[in-house]
Amino acid sequence: MIVRWEKLTAPELRALAARDALVVLPVAALEQHGPHLPVWTDSMIGHACCVRAAEMAGDLPAVVLPPMWTGMSEHHLPFGGTISLDYATFHAVLRCVCRSLKAQGFRRLFLVNSHGGNIDPIAVAARELGLEFAMPVVATTIFKVSPEIGRILETQPGVQHACEAETSFWLHLHPAEVRQDQIAHSLSGPGVQTGEAFTRFWSFAERAPETGVRGDPRAATAEKGEKLLAAVAGALAGAMRDPLLWRTPHAVWDGAPAP
């Protein structure tokens, strides 16, 4: 069973549209991940989780687009290796994806985010695009989909940045890409700590000075990466099967009466 969009032919994709296939778009980033992980980290992890989830829910069917590798990453620019969109462009790219899918007969889109800087923008975009195109556009962030993530990790309560979790994903999926000789030198100094009551722009040089890493990658293992992938993919597959998530949005701007 092929679930990756780029490996299918146009007739095969038209057939999937006729079957009301769920389209999954991994939304990620291209940005610094400390001295030990590639800048492709968020895109690699998000795409791997989506592909595994679509395979688990293959009878739906579901098909996974190539990852959207640019996101809202301006806070990482001081460390180099980073390409960022602004919000207007971020929203416009997602809008063009929705428009293209609808023109080809697809009627559902699952936005699966794997980058912290995209969390707020993708939530707003999903709500607006669902109403504009009269199709369910559901957004989530892989760090938040399963409570099992926190039970797998030993040094942190959840996914941070180039940390125990993200390094474990790499060690499981592509261990040769991890600069393991740099892990011991990847810890950051104390940075700005903020709560959730107030928000403003902080660069990552302020939040994770010296290395741009938040969390402790020294605790990463391939075994943890395997468990994290299974936990995230299972949760995503469950969401793909949830009929409530995939109802057509209430057409509030058209004056539609309450359902």
Digit-coded pLDDT (tens) for 183-227: 999 988 888 887 778 888 989 999 889 999 999 999 999 999 999
Q: What is the pLDDT of residue 58?
A: 85
CA 83 to chain centre: 16
Q: What is the pLDDT of residue 50?
A: 98
> Which stretches of the chain drop beneath a pLDDT of 50?
none
Q: What is the 3-state secondary structure (H, E, C) of the chain?
A: CCCEHHHCCHHHHHHHHHCCCEEEEEECCECCECECECCCHHHHHHHHHHHHHHHHCCCCCEEECCCECCECCHHHHHHCCCEECCHHHHHHHHHHHHHHHHHCCCCCEEEEECCHHHHHHHHHHHHHHHHHHCCCEEEEEHHHCCCHHHHHCCCCCCCCECCHHHHHHHHHHCHHHCCHHHHHHCCCCCCCCCCCCCCCCCCHHHHCCCCCCECCHHHCCHHHHHHHHHHHHHHHHHHHCCCCCCCCCCCHHHCCCCC
Are 14 and 104 spatial neighbours (Cβ–Cβ below 8 Å)? yes
Which is nearest to 246 in space by CA: 137, 145, 93? 137
Task: Output the pTM of the full model.
Answer: 0.96
Q: pLDDT digit string (tens) for 138-160?
A: 999 999 999 999 999 999 999 99
Domains in the chain with CATH codes: 5-240 (3.40.50.10310)
What is the separation, in whole angstroms, between the first and last Cα of the chain?
38
Q: What is the pLDDT of residue 190?
A: 82
Q: What is the pLDDT of residue 197?
A: 85
Q: What is the pLDDT of residue 47?
A: 98
Q: What is the pLDDT of residue 143?
A: 93
d(CA 176, CA 7): 25
Q: What is the pLDDT of residue 121?
A: 97
Q: What is the pLDDT of residue 65?
A: 98
Q: What is the pLDDT of residue 74?
A: 97
Q: What is the pLDDT of residue 231?
A: 98
